[in-house]
Structures are given as structure tokens and as C-alpha cells.
Homo-oligomer: A and B are copies of this chain.
Amino acid sequence: MDASAETLARAIGERVKHERRALGWTLDRLAEHAGVSRRMVVSVEQGTVNPSVGTLLRLSDALGVGLPALVEPPASRASKLTRSGDGAVLWTGERGGRGMLVAGTEPPDVVELWDWTLHPGERHESEPHSAGTRELLHLLEGAITVEVDGQTHDLVAGDALAFLGDTDHWYANTSAEPARFSLAVFEPGVGAGRRNGEPDA
């Protein structure tokens, strides 16, 4: 087990221990539920072993936290406040509409929260994001049309749409009033150490 694997093992251990404590479980109980020896549970929690995915799967399953959550690198613990107007305006329409990124998380597993305003007649076409990207849109005011993967959806105020963002898609305001919506974008695992050199996909 080399250095980076040890770091990972320790991080996994902390998470397992934290989850077990949160459930109020003893070592014996977790071992029994997971079908793993108690000795192994201790070793994993201490980060003194390099467990197989099979073992981790059993533990994460017993804890109910899902395997990816266990192997995720640690996230920063700080809260981050973005004051009104400090968001990044990453799109502006011809008639005053705009798309503003108001909050987001660090890689890996990027989640972004956007505040969009689309004036009548404006339309935004989005490049496909990376594989597995999902978007959640909640229309606050007005009416818009969303097309994703060839399917069009007409939304009115209050409607919400969940869709995959890894294909072509666009939003358009086809009504007479301005429209406003919140958009959550989730881009899984853009993380760690993407190498240079070769182009991707």
C-alpha cells in the first residue's frame, strides 16, 4: 500500500467509523450486518489495510451510505457565502436575460446552482456536458420551452423538470413576459487527477 492509498484508506476509515457511530452501532453489530469479520471492521476503520471493493461494498451496504460516498475524497468543511450580485454571469441574452452561477461545490462531484432570467424571445442553447451530468430546473415565473434529446417540454410557473445534461439541450422563452428559473446542475466525479497528454474521449 503506497502513500496515496494510505491516505485514502484513512479517509475511508474515518467515514466508516462516523457512519457507524451515527447509527449507534457497535463494532460487532456492523461486522454481523455486513458479513465481515469484526477484526476487519477495526482494521478498515483504522485505515491500516487496503480493503477490497467487495469488503467495502458489504460495509457501505450495511451502513446504508453507498459505496461512492465511502471512497469520495474529503470535502472542504467551510460554508461559502456569495453576496447578491457577486455571482458569475456566464451568459447574457440580447434583451437583458442572463444566467448567473450563484453557488457551487468543489470537484469532484460538482453541483452548481444557477439563477436564470430569460426575456421574451430569448433562447439559450447549451453544449452537452460530461457523461452522467444531470440537471434540475424549477420555473419560478413566466413560461418557457425546454428541449432535451429531441423532446420538447412546455413549462409554466411552478413546473419543474429533471433531465440528463450530457446531450444537446436548450431553453427558450416563448411567452410575452420574462421568465425566471432556478437550475441545479450535477456533474459527477470530474475529480482527482485528469492527466494531460491525450485528449479525452
Q: Chain A: residues with CB nearer than 8 A to chain B? A: 1-2, 4-5, 8-9, 12, 15, 18-19, 22-25, 33, 50-54, 56-58, 60-62, 64-72, 75, 77, 79-85, 87, 102-105, 107-109, 111-113, 115, 130-132, 134, 136-138, 140, 148-149, 151, 153, 155-164, 182, 184, 186, 188-195, 198, 200-201
* Nearest CB in chain B: distance from A175 CB, A: 15
Cβ–Cβ < 8 Å partners of A158 in chain B: 83-85
Cβ–Cβ < 8 Å partners of A149 in chain B: 77, 79
Contact partner of A103 (CB less than 8 A), chosen from B102, B131, B162, is B162
Known: A64-B195, A161-B80. A72 touches B138 (CB 8 A): no
Are B71 and A71 touching (Cβ within 8 A)?
Answer: yes
Are B132 and A69 touching (Cβ within 8 A)?
Answer: yes
Cβ–Cβ < 8 Å partners of A105 in chain B: 134, 136, 162, 186
> Considering the chains assembled together, what is the distance between the CA atoms of A57 and B5 in angstroms?
7
* Nearest CB in chain B: distance from A76 CB, A: 8
Are B162 and A61 touching (Cβ within 8 A)?
Answer: no
Are A82 and B130 touching (Cβ within 8 A)?
Answer: no
Are A201 and B23 touching (Cβ within 8 A)?
Answer: yes
Contact partner of A161 (CB less than 8 A), chosen from B54, B79, B136, is B79
Known: A75-B132, A113-B136, A188-B72. A64 touches B194 (CB 8 A): yes
A and B contact pairs by CB, cutoff 8 A, 10 listed: A50-B54, A66-B189, A67-B191, A69-B130, A69-B191, A84-B156, A84-B159, A103-B136, A104-B136, A186-B186
